[in-house]
Structure formats: C-alpha cells, structure tokens
Amino acid sequence: MNAPASRTGTIAPLDVLRQYPAHDFTLTGFLAARVAAHPDKPALLFEGETWSYRELEGRIAQAARWLAQAMHVRRGDRVGVLSANHPSTVVLMFALARIGATMVPANPEYRLDEALYVFQHAQVCGLVCAPATLETGAAIARALGGAVWLRANEPGDHGVPTLEQSMAAATGQFAGESVDDGGERDTALIIYTSGTTGFPKGAMHSHRGYVLTAEAFVGRLQLQPDERVMCVMPLFHINALMYSVGGALACGGCLVLVRKFSASSFWRFAAETGATEVNLVAAAGSILARRPRAEFVPGHRITKMFIAPQTQEMVRVMKHEFHVPRLIECYGMTEIPGVIANPFDGPHKLGTMGLISPHPDPAVPAPQARIVDDEGNDVAPGGEGELLIRTPTLMQGYYRDPAQTEAAFRDGWFATGDLVRQDEDGYYVFVARKKDVIRRKGENVSGAELDRIFGEHPAVEEAAAIGVPAELGEEEILLAVQFRPGQTADAAELLAWARGRLAVHKLPRYIATVEAIPHTPTHKPAKHKLKGDRTLLARAVDLSAASQ
C-alpha cells in the first residue's frame, strides 16, 4: 500500500497531458491512451488491493462484453448503481461507456421512494447494488415490472449473483468479441440533482464533457503523473466521478478509493496509502479541523486539497497544524463541472469562488461567465446578479425533462440560479441562492421536496424549508410548519414520520411552528420572508441530537 518515497519535479499541466497519445474524447480512448503509455503503473487502490492500468482495462473490457452479450445492454441503455464507493462503480462506468450506454448512480442512503423515482425516471434496464442496498434494489426491480436485472457488487449472504460471478461465468463465452460502440457525444453519466420543483433532475454528461473536465482538473490542481488522488467523496457526485476518478486517470496517477469519509481514520489512511491530493466538502474539512490531534499522522504526503467553502480557521489548521500547503477554493454545479476556482499558484482569496478555470490546452475554449439582472442585462462592475455560464463541459440537458432543460437556459447560457458579484480583482464572490436549494454537507437538498413531503403529514397545513447557517460551513435545514386548525404534532414526531420517506441528509435539524406560512403573489412560500425572521431560528426546536 505504500507509495514511492519521493515525488518527481513539477510538470506543467499541458505537458502532463501530452505525455499520453492523442485520443478521441471517449472514455474508452481516454483510458486507452494511459494504458498504452504505462500499462503496469498502479491505477486504482482499494482496501489493500492495487490494480494496474492494464488490469483495470482488462476488467472493464470483460465487464463490457458481459453487459453487451449476456445482459443485452445496448447503446443508449441505462444501468443504475446504488452503493457506497467501490471499484465496481468505476469499472461499470467505463464498461457502459464502451458500449455507448449510460451509468446512473444514486445515493445509497435514499429511501425506497426516492431511489424508485430516480431509477424509474431514468428507465434503467439493470441495477448494481451493494449488499446493504440490495433490499431496496430488489423492491425497485419488482416495482418496475421485473424487466430490470439485479446484481450485487460484493459477495454476501444475500443470494444475489455478484458482478464478478456473472462475468466469470461468461468469460469464455464472449472472449475476443468487440463491443466498442461509444462515441464522444454519447451520454456517459446521468447524475440526479435536487430540483426546485421538488423532484430530482437528471443532468446528462457526454464522454467529451467528462474527458475535458477530467483533463481540466489536472490544471486546476496541477496534478502530476505520480499523483495519488484520495477519493472520499461519494461516487454518485460529479466531484468524485469527474475530479477524483477522472483527474487521477487524466494525469496518469493512482486513484486511492475509500468506501466513505471517516474523520477518525482519515490521516492514518492517507499516510498508509501515500495519498497526495484529496477533495472535500466544507463540512468534512471543518470536522477534521476539530478532531482530536491524536488522530493526526505527521507522515502523510497530502500537499493539496480541493475544498469549498473555506473558513479562516479551517485554512489555519490545515496549513499550520496538518501541514497541507495548498487549499484550493472553488465553485461548481452538477450541470457545469470545472468552471471557476482559485488559481493554483494564487493569489488565493479566501471566501471567493475564484476565477474562470480553463482547460490546460489553449485550443479548448475556456468557460465564459456573465452576471445579469432579472431582465437578463449585464450588471455594472461590482454589482450583484445571477451567474450565467457557457462551458465545453456543460451538461447535455436534463433527461426526459425538456421543460426544465429549456428553463435552465437563457439564449444559450446556463442560468445557475446563484447570485454573485465580482470583486476589484475579478474574483467571483457568492452572495446567495436564487433557487430553492439548500446546500447541506456537500449535498443539494430541494426545499420544494421537503415542503411537499412534510406537507403530506395529516396534521400539517403547510411546510416550508429554508437554509440557515451551519457551524461546519454551508447550511442546516430549518422547517417552518403551519398546522391544521385544531391539530398539532411535536418536532420529534414530525422527524420520526419523515425518516421513512427521506434520506438522512434531507431531514431538518430545526423545526419551528408558525401561525401562517407567508406567500408570494403566486401563492408560493415566501421563503425570503422566513429567512428574514430573526426570531425563527431562536424559537425552533433543535433536533440534532435526535437525528444522529
């Protein structure tokens, strides 16, 4: 598990990418270029097992043949994943891409209704589940009429065939058959993200968009060919899939894959594996900064972290106590990965999103940004407005949702729904969210979804969820509740009622009773008025102890 004792000198990002043969901007060609350059170099490390680039490519090829020939997965088909981080997710993504099919990963903490909505909407033909989520996967397969096949990604006492077993049984039958059919414009991933309508939207990303994002991350973090990228963020997020997995492979380094983030073992694991770079959300960085110092391992080799938003305390602890010299603050969305970040060599401006972050190759068009008012006019320098983006890594649209896709664009520019401004140096500064989305522990939570779910409680007349500041950065969820005349329920009862309907990260920390939910002229909850009520949080019930 130990990494090499020393690192090479710094190579410019474009020179890193030019170490590998030209490719066709498919995931297959992207990986093949790295395999051709160094087949025996470590590509992936997981729980003590290391796969070389040649071995990773071999598993992907085997999986692609099995999917195409045994499971009859065709170009344009979709396969769902419901699992904590596991190498099978990486293999499946590249194998499906080779066929021209699409991977649809979802949060393994989803309750049945949440997962069913995603996979039913995505029209998956198969599901790959961890042992812990097989019961949910089986229920989804039944609900979808039995046409959906189910496999486990690990053995256990579950009675469901595993991927390894299935592929091994089919190895001889389909050996040597070619299944390559994926093109650069084909959809490689559909990532479901919380929407303002209360239902998740599936952001589609092409092979080309994935590859460009991965290569751009080499520039954003100046990743080197001997990099060991530690992935603790979940593989149903763009950050983990494109920045960690894609970035590690783009520079020709090694992906150090971790099942899930653990603060208590973070530094020990980093030291044991020789990790050199890691991506974190603000909550994870804040937790690490507050953990007992006895857990810190001075021998780690992490020299850079990609993390946002940052606080002065987090930066101080990471740099001066944990000896991580570079912390890169950034901005991103599922729909527009790899657009804005603080420059690697500085200046770093704490609390800012950063500057436009281009691909290392000047031949690739750089992202563009505008800040506009409600009428779509560019605001004056220093003024606040909505951020609009154009970028080569832009999603292809929302799957099976032309109305939401159309609503997300203004004359070819993607409307982020975020209010920002530029400071005197041109750095973008986040001001507020225009959309009804709460950012909690690295997850987007739809306020409209919580309004709908809690509004279905028999005692509730109406509910409205808002984001309030969190101690660890980002936001916590506060739910304002208006009860029906003559009815009531305490906060603990409401929380217990919602547990079977919502993933843990969507459960509110605070619940406050109000006489009436304020409304806009169109009779939507006037959440800006709730946010402006300074007494609301003070009189809310804090359910943090009950929700652990």
Closest residue by Cα to residue 196 from 499, 436, 36, 33 = 436
Residues 373 and 507 in one domain: no
Q: Look at residue 319 and tell me if it is in a domain.
A: no
**Range 248-262 average pLDDT:** 97
Residues 96 and 205 in one domain: yes
Residues 333 and 478 in one domain: no
Q: How far is CA 293 from CA 110, 266, 462, in A?
A: 34, 12, 46
The total of structural domains in the chain comes to: 3
- Chain segment 382-424, per-residue pLDDT in tens: 998 999 999 999 999 999 999 999 999 999 999 999 989 999 9
The more confidently predicted of residues 544 and 224 is 224
Instruction: Give the burial class of 183: count Cβ atoms within 10 A of its Cβ; 0-12 exposed, 13-18 middle, 19 or more buried.
Output: middle
Final residue in a domain of this structure, among 404, 433, 462: 433
Final residue in a domain of this structure, among 198, 217, 236: 217
Q: Look at residue 241 and tell me if it is in a domain.
A: no
The number of angstroms, rounded, from the C-alpha of 97 to the middle of its chain's C-alpha atoms is 19
Residues 381 and 514 in one domain: no
Residues 480 and 369 in one domain: no
pTM (global) more than 0.75:
yes
Q: Look at residue 116 and tell me if it is in a domain.
A: yes
- When mean pLDDT is compared across 163-172, 351-360, 471-480, the lowest value belongs to 163-172
Q: Look at residue 127 and tell me if it is in a domain.
A: yes
- Chain segment 497-515, per-residue pLDDT in tens: 999 899 999 999 999 999 9
- When mean pLDDT is compared across 156-170, 253-267, 379-393, 443-457, the lowest value belongs to 443-457
SS (H, E, C) 463-510: EEEEEEECCCCCEEEEEEEEECCCCCCCHHHHHHHHHCCCCHHHCCCE
Residues 334 and 424 in one domain: yes
CB of 420 within 8 A of CB of 429? yes
- Chain segment 103-135, per-residue pLDDT in tens: 999 999 999 999 999 999 999 999 999 999 999
Residues 453 and 534 in one domain: yes
Give rounded-to-5 percent helix, strand, coil for the chain: 35, 25, 40
97: pLDDT strictly greater than 90: yes
- H/E segment holding residue 222: none
The confidence score (pLDDT) of residue 1 equals: 44
The confidence score (pLDDT) of residue 287 equals: 86
- Chain segment 179-215, per-residue pLDDT in tens: 778 899 999 999 998 766 668 899 999 999 999 999 9
Residues 61 and 152 in one domain: yes
Q: Look at residue 322 and tell me if it is in a domain.
A: no
Q: What percent of the chain has pLDDT over 90?
A: 78
Residue 501, domain extent:
437-542
Strands (E), 33-140: 42-46, 49-52, 78-82, 102-106, 126-129
- Chain segment 427-475, per-residue pLDDT in tens: 999 887 777 889 888 888 888 889 888 988 999 988 999 999 988 778 9
Final residue in a domain of this structure, among 407, 433, 459: 433
Q: Look at residue 271 and tell me if it is in a domain.
A: no
Residues 189 and 60 in one domain: yes
Residues β-bridged to residue 397: 204
How far apart CA 147 and CA 150 sit, in angstroms, is 10
336: pLDDT strictly greater than 70: yes
Residues 71 and 201 in one domain: yes
**CATH number, residue 512:** 3.30.300.30
Q: Look at residue 481 and tell me if it is in a domain.
A: yes
